[in-house]
């Protein structure tokens, strides 16, 4: 599967592959959305086919549901299982406390519902997503289409009292039309450049009528697995407060982990 990977794909792949270490047969697993999460779904598929791993998956988007079907993963609706052992998903930004910005692909609402219904959430990312402070990536906010201009103004006013640098808000487009989420909503992207108090911002945003959910994931993620283009993987586990560095050899499909540092 790994073949001739670009450094960015190698980074995503090694993070995804490392996340499979936390899978066990019988688990109910949330599958995230996006290019990194797609690598994870492929890795799960490989384990199901080659090692008989038996997991039941819940997809966080229509896109992921389609991919899971193509790969041959067993998927059910969240309503059927109600609770999950583990969700593995990508992110647009992850800071040292494992606060995240998500929703670059517009799937933040279902992703947050699924991650919150999970015993454990692991975020997988390439190193470009690791940041000291959140906010360079525009913060996606899912809003109902009705009165979107009013909601945008309310958010704009609210930002004046927040610890952020930028104030620009754009309606996400797809061609000439607003981008529509799987739940039929629109996305406003908040170009904040720096978010000083993400927890407070997330709470205040969700108080605004018209806002369905925002892309700040605070106290949801338990572990971050960050992949690097040279095959190195950094694992940060909040439950043990540890950071571990592994090296993943992706020159062939007999992928080998060796500890290189601590
Ligand atoms: O809505 C999309 C999700 O939050 C993605 O997990 C996020 O945008 C990261 O995607 P990618 O792995 O493609 O960078």
Residues 6+ apart with CB under 8 A from 222: 98, 120, 121, 122, 237, 238, 239
> Has 111 been annotated as catalytic?
yes
From the candidates 24, 50, 51, 111, which is the catalytic residue? 111
pLDDT at 259: 36
C-alpha 113/C-alpha 212 separation (Å) is 12
H/E stretch holding 42 reads helix 35-51
Q: Which residues of 192-223 are buried (b: 16+ CB within 10 A; e: fewer)?
A: beebeebeebbebbeebebbbbbbbbbebbbb
pLDDT at 249: 63
pLDDT confidence tier of residue 245, bands split at 50, 70 and 90: confident
C-alpha 117/C-alpha 76 separation (Å) is 14
Residue 254 has pLDDT above 50, yes or no: no
pLDDT at 241: 82
- Between the CA of residue 29 and those of 20, 37, 76, 172, what are the distances in Å? 11, 12, 10, 30
pTM of the model: 0.93
Task: Please give the domain boundaries of the chain with CATH numbers for all domains.
Answer: 7-129+219-261 (3.40.50.1360), 139-214 (3.30.70.260)
Express as a percent the part of the chain with pLDDT over 90: 89
CA angle 100, 105, 108 (to 5 degrees): 50
Residue pointed to by tokens 């981008």: 179
Give the bridge partners for 232, in sequence order: 247
H/E stretch holding 101 reads strand 100-101
Q: How many CA atoms lie within 13 A of 140 on its CB side?
A: 26
The pLDDT tens digits for 135-194 are: 999 999 999 999 999 999 999 999 999 999 999 999 999 999 999 999 999 999 999 999
Q: What is the residue with the minimal CA distance to atom 3 of ligand 1? A: 103
Phi, psi of 159 (to 5 degrees): -65, -25
Stretch 69-97: mean pLDDT: 97
**Is 111 a pocket residue for ligand 1 (Cβ < 6 Å)?**
yes
The pLDDT tens digits for 37-64 are: 999 999 999 999 999 999 999 999 999 9
Residue 71 has pLDDT above 60, yes or no: yes
Instruction: From 39, 63, 90, give the residue whose CB has the most ligand 1 atoms within 8 Å, as the site to mutate.
Output: 90
Which is more confidently placed, 243 or 166?
166
Least confident of 83-92, 114-123, 200-209, 235-244: 235-244
The tokens describing 205, both together, are: 């945003």
**Is 185 a pocket residue for ligand 1 (Cβ < 6 Å)?**
no
C-alpha 36/C-alpha 39 separation (Å) is 5
């Amino acid at each position: 599967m790994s073949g001739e990977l670009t450094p960015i794909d190698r980074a995503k792949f090694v993070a995804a592959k490392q996340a499979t270490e936390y899978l066990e047969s019988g688990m109910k697993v949330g599958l995230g959305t996006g290019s990194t999460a797609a690598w994870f779904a492929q890795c799960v598929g490989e384990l199901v086919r080659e090692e008989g791993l038996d997991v039941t998956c819940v997809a966080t988007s229509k896109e992921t549901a389609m991919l899971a079907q193509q790969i041959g993963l067993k998927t059910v609706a969240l309503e059927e299982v109600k609770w999950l052992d583990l969700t593995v998903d990508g992110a647009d930004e992850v800071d040292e406390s494992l606060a995240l910005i998500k929703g670059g692909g517009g799937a933040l609402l279902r992703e947050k519902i699924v991650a919150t219904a999970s015993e454990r959430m692991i975020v997988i990312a390439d190193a470009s997503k690791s940041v000291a402070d959140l906010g360079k990536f525009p913060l996606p906010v899912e809003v109902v289409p009705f009165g979107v201009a009013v909601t945008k103004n309310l958010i704009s006013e609210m930002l004046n009292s927040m610890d952020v640098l930028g104030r620009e808000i754009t309606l996400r487009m797809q061609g000439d039309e607003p981008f529509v989420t799987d739940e039929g909503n629109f996305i406003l992207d908040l170009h904040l450049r720096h978010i000083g108090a993400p927890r407070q911002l997330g709470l205040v945003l969700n108080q605004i009528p018209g806002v369905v959910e925002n892309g700040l994931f605070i106290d949801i993620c338990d572990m971050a697995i960050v992949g690097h283009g040279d095959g190195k993987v950094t694992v940060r586990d909040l439950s043990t407060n540890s950071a571990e560095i592994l090296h993943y050899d992706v020159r062939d499909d007999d992928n080998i982990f060796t500890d290189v540092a601590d």
